[in-house]
Amino acid sequence: MSSRTRGTSPTTGPDGGPALVVVAHGSRDPRALATVSALLDRVRALRPGLSVRLGHIELNEPLLPDTLAALGDGPAVLAPLLLSRGYHVKRDIPEMAARSPARTRVAAPLGPHPLLVDALHDRLAEAGWHRRRGDAVVLAAAGSRDPESAVDTGRTARLLAARLGVPVLPAYATTATPTVPEAVSALRGRGHRNIAVASCFTAPGRFARECAAAAPWIAAAPLGTHPAMAHLLLHRYDEARTTPATTLPATARWQLASA
């Protein structure tokens, strides 16, 4: 077990600033933990001296409550490694933070943001994307019952469409609609022949695999360790540190940074 996992690394940065706790969902796919760990190494390389830690919502260790417990009553910014708003960002993470003695602030999710679109664009290019007449893209995301998640994914799709110059239709692996096959069918019905799937997932896993399998043309890899993802995590960290937070009811001893 590493010193970071045991919590023996410094709990603040060299400027006395809060630790960065990256909050991943967790996955049964072992590639997910390896990918997230490599991404955090990129973040550390970009900001030497910053205490960067990992906590999972479920399925993988270290779990977020354990990571927070190791911080004691030190300050931390919790940066969700999630690509839209939803119940994990709005409820699960804050509730775990509220049960910890650490002085925490929850940053905004990574999307929507132009840096996220940079990563999506590059992953498509790596898969062989080149714009041709009749092209379109399905933006495959996890899905959520929270309507604000679909709002965020829809905005990311519009930003990607502006970057690519072709229609981009959001679709979901679970819970929300349309599914990727439904989105592909809808685009074909509009006359689009070459339909790629952009993977709006942070790491390999079942959802990313199933969405890629539904691609009629090319399917991009998950975002993974793309440099833009490391920069985006630090952007959300800095944003949470400097943006005045909204103080929530006394029952929740945490603050949510404005998006």
Mean pLDDT, the chain, as a whole number? 90
**Pairwise CA distance, residues 219 & 207, whole Å:** 13
Residues forming beta bridges with residue 171, ordered by sequence position: 140
231 contacts 156 by C-beta, under 8 angstroms: no
- For the cut 90, the answer to whether the pLDDT of residue 2 exceeds it is no
- For the cut 90, the answer to whether the pLDDT of residue 1 exceeds it is no
Q: Tell the residue number behind the tokens 């339909």, with chain if given.
A: 195
pLDDT at 160: 98
- Domains with residue ranges and CATH for the chain: 3-110+226-256 (3.40.50.1400), 114-213 (3.40.50.1400)
Burial 105-116 (b: 16+ CB within 10 A, else e): bbbbbbbbbebb
The helix (H) or strand (E) run that includes residue 184 is: helix 180-189
Reduced to 3 states (helix: H, G, I; strand: E, B; else coil), residue 144 is coil
Phi, psi of 112 (to 5 degrees): -80, 150
pLDDT at 8: 42
pLDDT at 251: 29
pLDDT at 10: 54
Q: In the predicted model, what is the mean pLDDT of residues 199-204?
A: 97
pLDDT category, 12, cuts 50, 70, 90? Answer: low
The alpha carbon of 248 is separated from its chain's Cα centroid by a whole number of angstroms, namely 24
- For the cut 90, the answer to whether the pLDDT of residue 189 exceeds it is yes
- For the cut 50, the answer to whether the pLDDT of residue 191 exceeds it is yes
**Pairwise CA distance, residues 81 & 233, whole Å:** 8
pLDDT at 243: 83
Reduced to 3 states (helix: H, G, I; strand: E, B; else coil), residue 249 is coil
pLDDT digits (tens, 9 = 90+) for 71-103: 999 999 999 999 999 999 999 999 999 999 999
pLDDT digits (tens, 9 = 90+) for 95-153: 999 999 999 999 999 999 999 999 999 999 999 999 988 999 999 999 999 999 999 99
41 contacts 162 by C-beta, under 8 angstroms: no
- For the cut 80, the answer to whether the pLDDT of residue 246 exceeds it is no
- For the cut 80, the answer to whether the pLDDT of residue 13 exceeds it is no
The helix (H) or strand (E) run that includes residue 236 is: helix 227-242
Task: Name the token pair of 63.
Answer: 């779990």
pLDDT category, 245, cuts 50, 70, 90? Answer: low
Q: Tell the residue number behind the tokens 């925490």, with chain if given.
A: 104
**Pairwise CA distance, residues 137 & 85, whole Å:** 22
Neighbours of 90 (CB within 10 A): 17
Strands 103-106 and 255-256: parallel
**Pairwise CA distance, residues 2 & 201, whole Å:** 26
pLDDT category, 244, cuts 50, 70, 90? Answer: confident
Q: In a 10 Å sphere around its CB, with 0-12 CB exposed, 13-18 middle and 19+ buried, how is residue 19 labelled? A: buried
Q: In the predicted model, what is the mean pLDDT of residues 60-66?
A: 96
Give the single-character DSSP code of 99: T
Phi, psi of 141 (to 5 degrees): -130, 170
